[in-house]
């Protein structure tokens, strides 16, 4: 049987390597109960060495990890669902919108209810499949190189296909919101594509839970001042909210 110290080192090593660990997987690997793992995670969180999500744990590093879409969807799922439902209220009758890839945007697509006719442009294959057979929704799937982690098409072909379009709104998820560095995601390719989506849309709307505040992704999308609306959860600090509003961002708390 491993000691407490060995167990906690194993947990930290796995988070460092994978960027995400599940309680059930750790319990099985270490041959202990999930309750024991949860106690270890609680201790490590109090030491500032990780932060806990539902049934899992992630590193505290402000540098974003590029995590698989199915895994990311489980993290802070309830917050994402509330954000998605609030975003639905911004859909107008006979609207034309762009949906980027991302776990929160995918949840938004699941709850999306068109008002009249809805045109949707998306880089996300899973979003296109979800909305493709929905009544009164026309979907334009962008072409390009499929990036498996995010189920998103990226590259110059995807960027160029937006050139002759205009939509009322773009809804996009992010991996980091930092008032100095700006709005960012895990890869440069997705950042380039999202930036083009913003250029061809009248209103830019970010869907991001509060865990993204203060984080920085590898690819910078834009400065904070360039987005119009942020929909987030109640976990956002009053200080961060004030800073964002000071930069002209409308902050909506779901």
**What is the Cβ-side half-sphere exposure of residue 105, based on CA atoms within 13 angstroms?**
30
Q: Are 125 and 158 spatial neighbours (Cβ–Cβ below 8 Å)?
A: no
CA angle, residues 190, 191, 197, in degrees to nearest 5 = 90
Predicted local confidence at residue 68, as pLDDT: 54
Q: Give pLDDT tens digits for 40-60.
A: 888 887 776 776 766 677 665
Quote the DSSP letter at residue 209.
-
Query: Which residues in the chain show pLDDT less than 50?
Result: 62-63
Q: Are 64 and 217 spatial neighbours (Cβ–Cβ below 8 Å)?
A: yes
Cα radius of gyration (the chain):
19
Q: Are 108 and 89 spatial neighbours (Cβ–Cβ below 8 Å)?
A: no
The pair phi, psi for residue 161, each rounded to 5°, is -70, -15
What share of the chain in percent tops pLDDT 90? 55
Q: Which two tokens stand for residue 30?
A: 């270490």
Q: Are 76 and 69 spatial neighbours (Cβ–Cβ below 8 Å)?
A: no
- What's the order of all strands across the beta sheet hosting 176-178? 176-178, 182-185, 219-222
Q: Are 56 and 75 spatial neighbours (Cβ–Cβ below 8 Å)?
A: yes
Predicted local confidence at residue 149, as pLDDT: 62
Mean model confidence pLDDT for the chain: 87
CA dist 14 and 99 (Å) reads 33
Q: Give pLDDT tens digits for 152-199.
A: 888 899 999 999 999 999 999 998 899 999 999 888 999 999 999 999
Q: Are 169 and 193 spatial neighbours (Cβ–Cβ below 8 Å)?
A: no
Indicate the burial class of 166 (C-beta count within 10 angstroms; 0-12, 13-18, 19 or more).
Answer: exposed
> Model's pTM, two decimal places?
0.74
**What is the Cβ-side half-sphere exposure of residue 250, based on CA atoms within 13 angstroms?**
9
What share of the chain in percent tops pLDDT 70? 87
């Amino acid at each position: 049987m491993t000691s407490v110290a060995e167990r906690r080192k194993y947990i930290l090593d796995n988070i460092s390597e994978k960027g995400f660990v599940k309680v059930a997987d750790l319990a099985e690997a270490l041959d202990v109960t999930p309750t024991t793992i949860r106690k270890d995670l609680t201790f490590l969180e109090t030491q500032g060495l990780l932060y806990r999500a539902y049934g899992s744990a992630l590193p505290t590093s402000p540098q974003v990890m590029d995590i698989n879409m199915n895994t990311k969807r489980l993290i802070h799922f309830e917050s994402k669902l509330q954000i998605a439902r609030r975003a639905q209220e911004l859909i107008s009758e006979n609207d034309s919108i762009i949906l980027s890839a991302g776990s929160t945007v995918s949840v938004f697509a699941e709850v999306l209810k068109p008002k009249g006719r809805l045109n949707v442009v998306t880089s996300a294959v899973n979003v296109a499949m979800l909305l493709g057979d929905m009544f009164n929704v026309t979907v334009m799937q962008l072409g390009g190189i499929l990036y498996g982690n995010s189920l998103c098409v990226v590259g110059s072909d995807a960027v160029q296909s937006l050139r002759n379009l205009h939509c009322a709104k773009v809804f996009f998820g992010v991996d980091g919101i930092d008032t100095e560095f700006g709005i960012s995601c895990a890869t440069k390719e997705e950042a380039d594509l999202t930036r083009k989506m913003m250029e061809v849309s009248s209103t830019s709307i970010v869907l991001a839970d509060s865990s993204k505040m203060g984080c920085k992704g590898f690819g910078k999308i834009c400065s904070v001042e360039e987005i119009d609306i942020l929909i987030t959860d109640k976990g956002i600090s009053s200080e961060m909210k004030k800073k964002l509003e000071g930069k002209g961002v409308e902050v909506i708390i779901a």
